[in-house]
Amino acid sequence: MSTAARPVAITCGEPAGIGPEIAARAWAALASDIPMFWIGDPRHLPEDVPHRVIDTPEAASMPSADALPVLPHDFGSAALPGVAQPGHAQGVIDVIARAVDLVQQGAASAVCTAPIHKKALQDGAGFAYPGHTEYLAALAGVDDVVMMLASEQLRVVPATIHIALDQVPQMLTPTGLRRTIEITAESLRDRFGIARPRIAVAGLNPHAGEGGSMGRQEIDWIAPLILEMQGEGYALAGPLPADTMFHAAARQSYDAAIAMYHDQALIPIKTLDFDRGVNVTLGLPFVRTSPDHGTAFDIAGQGRANPTSMIEAIKLAWRMGSST
């Protein structure tokens, strides 16, 4: 028999995207086992989804298989699948802040965010952050957070996140890479239960610089930093050529791979496991997960969206949130 517990808060994300439908389908798949509630405008849910409006998260503290508990947030109008409405942008942002508030008060065990459309939020509400990750850090008042994409096959962490490629060499610093490695190691221990995490670090340049002939960052500071941190007890390998560190045998040698920039990290995991990858923000004082994909405007509202990544994200949020 289920007992009452703090539920997972699920944000609506972009109402014109697939967020509402994958949240509803994830609830249908998990409702008997995991207490959860959705924060959003009930008008944005698919019509056939049974839901009940709740006043507080406590009303969702038991798994609820009959109806999706909804903490309502009025967006003022219905959504048009595939077309973001500027008037909805502030609501999307406010729902994330509301979920964070609830988890920080202890009313929710974790936050699972449905995808946002970053440009729509910038255009519609002047959203000042490149993504959830940076916004969540600001809401939590922490300086350093880390984005991890995790699946059974691979865990990857980009050391720089949502910046233009030509900014990467400047933004990648020894201090930043050190913090990324520290937070990743600590989270692998505390959140993933890996007592002595093994971490592989990619090089920035092709062939990890090929001895300096294709870039010097590896020689000048990445390898020295790895050596220094190995001396402090970290189980680190690298800098490794990024093109050869993700094949099946190589993946057996580490628990997480640190990549130098967004696509170096996300291409391998989305290629290997697009359906089951989960985005976890490390370094926050609460648990936050998200599916690894975006708003998928091209298929929104058509019932074609695969909810698997959302399901995995809610499961991971529940598992981590229940153990903290």
Ligand X SMILES: NC(=O)C1=CN([C@@H]2O[C@H](COP(=O)(O)OP(=O)(O)OC[C@H]3O[C@@H](n4cnc5c(N)ncnc54)[C@H](O)[C@@H]3O)[C@@H](O)[C@H]2O)C=CC1
* Shortest spacing between CB 323 and ligand LD2JLWAY, in angstroms: 22
> Taking a C-beta distance cutoff of 8 angstroms, is the pair 292, 148 a contact?
no
Site for ligand LD2JLWAY in 124-163 (CB under 6 A): 131-133
At a CB cut-off of 8 Å and minimum separation 6, what does 51 contact?
38, 42, 45, 67, 68, 69, 70
Flag whether 118 is marked binding.
no
CA neighbours within 13 Å on the CB side: how many for 122? 8
**What would the two tokens of residue 192 be?**
């993933």
> Taking a C-beta distance cutoff of 8 angstroms, is the pair 76, 92 a contact?
no
For ligand LD2JLWAY, give the closer residue by CB, 54 or 93. 93
For ligand LD2JLWAY, give the closer residue by CB, 222 or 296. 296
Flag whether 132 is marked binding.
yes
Q: Which of 63, 115, 268, 321 binds ligand X (CB under 6 A)?
A: 115
In angstroms, rounded to a whole number, what is the distance separating the alpha carbons of residues 292 and 270?
Answer: 8
First-to-last alpha carbon distance for the chain, in angstroms, is 22
Question: CB nearest ligand LD2JLWAY: which residue?
Answer: 131
Residue 42 found at the interface with ligand X (CB under 6 A): no
In angstroms, rounded to a whole number, what is the distance separating the alpha carbons of residues 184 and 59?
Answer: 35
Of residues 273, 291, 280, the one with CA closest to residue 22: 291
Flag whether 155 is marked binding.
no
Cα 282 from chain centroid (whole Å): 9
Residue 180 found at the interface with ligand LD2JLWAY (CB under 6 A): no
* Shortest spacing between CB 17 and ligand X, in angstroms: 7
- Specify the stretch interacting with ligand X by CB under 6 A; choose among 74-82, 94-102, 109-117, 168-176: 109-117
Total interface residues for ligand LD2JLWAY by CB under 6 A: 6
CA neighbours within 13 Å on the CB side: how many for 268? 27
- Specify the stretch interacting with ligand X by CB under 6 A; choose among 74-82, 186-194, 218-226, 295-303: 295-303
For ligand LD2JLWAY, give the closer residue by CB, 127 or 234. 127
> Taking a C-beta distance cutoff of 8 angstroms, is the pair 205, 171 a contact?
no
> Taking a C-beta distance cutoff of 8 angstroms, is the pair 39, 98 a contact?
yes
Residue 266 found at the interface with ligand LD2JLWAY (CB under 6 A): yes
Residues annotated in a binding site? 132-133, 162, 207, 262, 270, 279, 288
Q: Which residues bind ligand X (CB under 6 A)?
A: 18, 22, 115-119, 132, 279, 290, 293-296, 298-299, 305-306, 309
Q: Which residues bind ligand LD2JLWAY (CB under 6 A)?
A: 131-133, 266, 279, 290
